[in-house]
Amino acid sequence: MSPTDLAVPLLIIFLYRSFISSQAALPLQTPIQKDHSTSQYVITAYLKTPLKLTKLLLDLGATYTWVNCDDYTSSTYRHVPCNSSIANLLGAYACLDLCDGAPSPNCGNNSFILFPDNPIKPVDYKKVNGVNTAIIDSFALSSTTQGSLALINSFIFSCARTGFLKGLAKGVSGQAALGRSNVSIPVQLNKLYTSYPNCFAICLSGSKSQPGVAHFGSRGPYNFLPGIDLSKSLLYTPLISNPFGKDSDPDKPRASPDYYIGLSSIKVNGKMVALNKSLLAIDGETGSGGTKISTVVPYTKLQSSIYKTFMTAFLKEAVSSAFNLTTTKPVKPFRVCYPASAVKSTQMGPAVPIIDLVLDRQEVVWKIFGSNSMVRITKKSVDLWCLGFVDGGVNPMVSSWIRGPSVVIGGYQLEDNMLQFDLQWKKLGFSSSILSRGTNCANFKFSTKHV
């Protein structure tokens, strides 16, 4: 059972509603900007009192939002007491009885403490001193089409230390959690706006200047220039729960906050790739295997044996008379590259074999065209198109005893695709590349109003 499936006591619901107020109603649309130096996706929020603009790493697999509190100043923050009902939402982590020094956002007496994680560069807790308390404070997202803020007066998140920011894009102060949990941003918004769907959607842009967009509290319409409603272009597949998240203990499993989908097979140029299909299923005893979606992994990772057979199939089709492509010396982290001059251009990007991710039914197919499968590498005298999939190893460990998924669909493969995460009905809506509709994720028409 996933955290979002857990029954929340009426007392907690009452506490949420008594804590929260708003200045703008859902649905809301918030920009998502890509940082090209790190390939990270960044969302802008407002924290503290008075509200201060804060850039956060967008993470589909995070349980709770965290922010660097070493220089945190706010007149309204408060800690989560260890025995409070709200602490039940956060799970059984730890309690701090007494601070070593004066209480601060990072430390409160009799307060709940958490163990935030940096998905880009894992935190060495031996080198990063100090506890990380759960706190409650004002949090808002800008509603760019309404020119106002969607404000949660008592948003639950975790403090962290400056050392947790290593590897994050310049100016980013923490992580925005959009994962499957009771305290993710979409769920906390839904507890305020109960009349709106418990649903959010993202459309990531690879543009260096124009952002993509996140939609909260709406199943559509998702209107993009030139007058296209992308909610009408979605196919649907179930969201699968992995009962063993990385925070699981051997004697106490905790469901993963990641979004898993049921990948049943892969085709290249319409031809089935010979895979060990047992790797595509989640192991019911360890949680390893399966396919998840990630915004913090830049390129799709495939378990080693899957990668080898997939790469062989792609090479075979690319060299055929339909494409007539010959490889050249690759550039890390990629292993398959072609001279850019040899690759034709189409509306859907480079003319290369189409990759089909066949999901829960044969007719439910996520198509990956050249715009999402090939990465342009230009530096010095090099100009290449490289296959943007990487060898993910043999289900690497994500904790001391939990192994990871077999397939991680990375951010580059998500760009210019509309993805709808319906937490109420536990399903994913996906469009495949919206370039086929004559638009892209940078074509959402944001309001010119300012907050």
Q: Tens digit of pLDDT for each residue in 225-243?
A: 999 999 999 999 999 999 9
The answer to whether residues 159 and 252 belong to one domain is no
Residue 202, pLDDT score: 99
Q: Do 29 and 154 belong to one domain?
A: yes
**Average pLDDT for 57-75:** 96
Q: How high is the mean pLDDT of the chain?
A: 90
C-alpha 203/C-alpha 218 separation (Å) is 14
Give a yes or no: residue 83 inside a domain. yes
The distance in angstroms from the start CA to the end CA of the chain is 39
What is the per-residue pLDDT across 149-207, written as a single tens digit (0 to 9) for each? Answer: 788 999 999 999 999 999 999 999 999 999 999 999 999 999 988 889 999 999 999 99
Nearest 5°: the CA angle 343, 348, 350 is 15
What's the mean pLDDT in 210-218? 96
Boundary of a domain, candidates 176, 196, 216: 196
**Which of 14-28, 87-101, 299-313 is least confident?**
14-28
**Both tokens of residue 15?**
């506490």
| Predicted pLDDT at 101 | 79
Does 277 share its domain with 410? yes
12 has a pLDDT exceeding 50: no
- Return the CA Rg of the chain: 22
Question: CA 352, CA 181: separation in Å to the nearest integer?
Answer: 39
Quote the pLDDT of residue 19: 38
Binned at pLDDT 50, 70 and 90, residue 3 comes out as very low
**Last residue within a domain, chosen from 180, 196, 212:** 196
pLDDT at 417 over 60: yes
Q: Which two tokens stand for residue 175?
A: 């992580």
Residue 309: which pLDDT band, with cuts at 50, 70 and 90?
very high
Percentage of the chain exceeding pLDDT 70: 90
Per-residue confidence band for 25, with pLDDT thresholds at 50, 70 and 90: low
Same domain for 283 and 190, yes or no, is no
Whether the CB-CB separation of 191 and 13 falls below 8 Å is answered with yes
- Is the residue at 270 inside a domain? yes
pLDDT value of position 380: 87
Shared-domain flag, residues 151 and 285: no
Dump pLDDT digits (tens) for 91-133. 657 888 998 878 899 989 999 988 899 999 988 877 776 678 9
Question: Which pLDDT belongs to residue 147?
Answer: 60
Instruction: Show Cβ contacts of residue 285 under 8 Å, excluding neighbours closer than 6 positions.
Output: none
* CATH at residue 26: 2.40.70.10
Task: Provide the pLDDT for residue 99.
Answer: 87
- Band (447; pLDDT cuts 50, 70, 90): low
Among residues 410, 149, 132, 126, which one has the least CA distance to residue 258? Answer: 410
Calculate mean pLDDT across residues 432-447: 92
Q: Is the pLDDT of residue 24 over 60?
A: no
Same domain for 158 and 240, yes or no, is no
Q: Does any domain span residue 328?
A: yes
Is 268 a domain residue? yes
> Where does the pLDDT of residue 7 fall: very low under 50, low under 70, confident under 90, or very high at 90 and above?
very low
pLDDT at residue 11 greater than cutoff 80: no
Q: How many domains does the chain have?
A: 2
| pLDDT-derived band at 14, boundaries 50, 70, 90 | very low
SS3 of the chain: CCHHHCCCCHHHHHHHHHHCCCCCCCCEEEEEEEECCCCEEEEEEEECCCCEEEEEEEECCCCCCEEECCCCCCCCCEECECCCHHHHHHCCCEEECCCCCCCECCECCCEEECCCCCCCCCCCCCCCCCCCEEEEEEEEEEECCCCEEEEEEEEEEEEECHHHHCCCCCCEEEEEECCCCCCCHHHHHHHHCCCCCCEEEEECCCCCCCCEEEEECCCCCCEECCCEEHHHHCEEEEEECCCCCCCCECCECCCCCCEEECCCEEEECCEECCCCHHHHCCCCCCCCCCEEECCCCCCEEECHHHHHHHHHHHHHHHCCCCCCCCCECCCCCCCCEEEHHHCCEECCEECCCCEEEECCCCCCEEEECHHHHEEEEEECCEEEEEECEEECCCCCECCCCCECCCEEECHHHHCCEEEEEECCCCEEEEEEEHHHHCCCHHHECCCCCCC
Gap between the Cα atoms of 72 and 108, Å rounded: 14
pTM above 0.85, yes or no: yes
Query: 362-395: per-residue pLDDT in tens?
Result: 999 999 999 999 999 998 889 999 999 999 998 7
Is residue 221 domain-resident?
no
| Claim to verify: residue 122 and residue 256 sit in the same structural domain | no
Same structural domain for residues 241 and 93?
A: no
| For residue 10, pLDDT beyond 70 | no
Query: Are residue 104 and residue 21 in the same domain, yes or no?
Result: yes
- List the domain range (segments joined by +) for residue 91: 12-196
Determine the pLDDT at residue 331: 96
Q: What is the pLDDT of residue 20?
A: 39
Segment 250-289, tens digit of pLDDT: 778 889 999 999 999 999 999 999 999 999 999 988 899 9
Same domain, 251 and 119: no
Question: Would you say residue 214 lies in a domain?
Answer: no
Of 168, 196, 224, the one marking the end of a domain is 196
Q: Are residues 171 and 238 in the same domain?
A: no
293 & 388 share domain: yes
Residue 215 reports pLDDT greater than 90 = yes
With respect to residue 203, please indicate whether it lies within any of the assigned structural domains: no
Which position has the token pair 């993710």?
184
Per-residue pLDDT, averaged over 312-323, amounts to: 97
